[in-house]
Amino acid sequence: MSVIINCRDKKQLTIPLNELSMMEDFFLKNMIIDCTDDNQSIELYEDGTIVQNIIDSIRLKKLVYSNENQLSYMLALCEKWCVPLWLIDTINNKQNKDLLSKIIENYDMILTTGIKKCVICSKGFKPHENTNTSCKRHKCSFDNGLNLYHCCGETERNKNFCSIGYHVPEKTQISYHNLFMQNIKELLQ
C-alpha cells in the first residue's frame, strides 16, 4: 500500500505506507496515515523536491537535500510541518556553517587584498599589487647638512633609491590572520 503526493511543480511522489509508518511523527506523516486510503492521492502546494528531501531526511535520519539554495525553504516547511527538532537543528547548523564559511572567505579576501603596512618603507600596499620593485628606500637617512644619503651618495631625495624589492607586511598582520583562520577552521570541523 502506498500514497501518492501531487506537488505544485507537477512532481508526483509515491510513498509506501509501511515506510511512512516507521518514521518519526510529523504533520505530513500523521495526515497521510489518518486521512488516506490505499493509493489515494494528496495535493500539496509545495515544491516536490523539497517534500522528497524532508521525507528522505526523516526516513534516513540524516539531512538530505539536493540544492543548497533551497535550505531556507526546506527549513520553513519543516517548521510548518512540525518535523522532529533534530532535523530543524541540523538545517540551522548547516546554514550557520555555510554563512560562517562565506564570512571567512570575505575576511580572507579583505586581509589578502586589503592595504597592509610595509615594515621596510612604512608605506601602505596591497598584497596583490606587490612586485619586486614596489618597496623603494634608502638604507640610511638623508643628511641635510651634506645634502646626500650616506648609504649610496645620492644627493637628491627619493630620486634614485639604493634598496628596491618587495614590500614586507608587519608580522602581526600575518600572525593575527593565520590565528583567526586556524580558529575558524577548527570551529567548522
Q: Which fold has domain 2-108?
A: Potassium Channel Kv1.1; Chain A (3.30.710)
Chain centroid to Cα 79, Å, comes to: 24
103: nearest Cα among 187, 15, 43: 187
How far, in whole angstroms, is CA 103 from its chain's centroid?
6
CB 121 within 8 A of CB 161: no
CATH number at 114-188: 4.10.1130
φ, ψ dihedrals at 3, nearest 5°: -125, 145
Is pLDDT at 126 greater than 70 in this prediction? yes
Write the burial class of residue 28 (CB in 10 Å: 0-12 exposed, 13-18 middle, 19+ buried). buried
Asked if 15 and 5 touch (Cβ cutoff 8 Å), the reply is yes
pLDDT band at 45 (very low <50, low <70, confident <90, very high): very high
Count of beta carbons in the 10 Å neighbourhood of residue 157: 11
Which residue has better confidence, 141 or 52? 52
* Cα angle value 122/127/129 (rounded, 5°): 100
Average pLDDT over residues 49-53: 95
Whole-number average pLDDT of the chain: 85
Q: How far apart are alpha carbons 31 and 164 in whole angstroms?
A: 76
Reported as a single tens digit per residue, the pLDDT across 135-155 is: 998 888 888 888 888 888 888
Residue at 74: amino acid letter? M
170: Cβ–Cβ under 8 A, 6 or more apart, which residues? 116, 117, 119
Instruction: Output the pTM of the full model.
Output: 0.59
Structural domain boundaries of the chain? 2-108, 114-188
- Among candidate residues 41, 54, 55, the one with its CA nearest the CA of residue 10: 41
Q: What is the pLDDT of residue 175?
A: 59
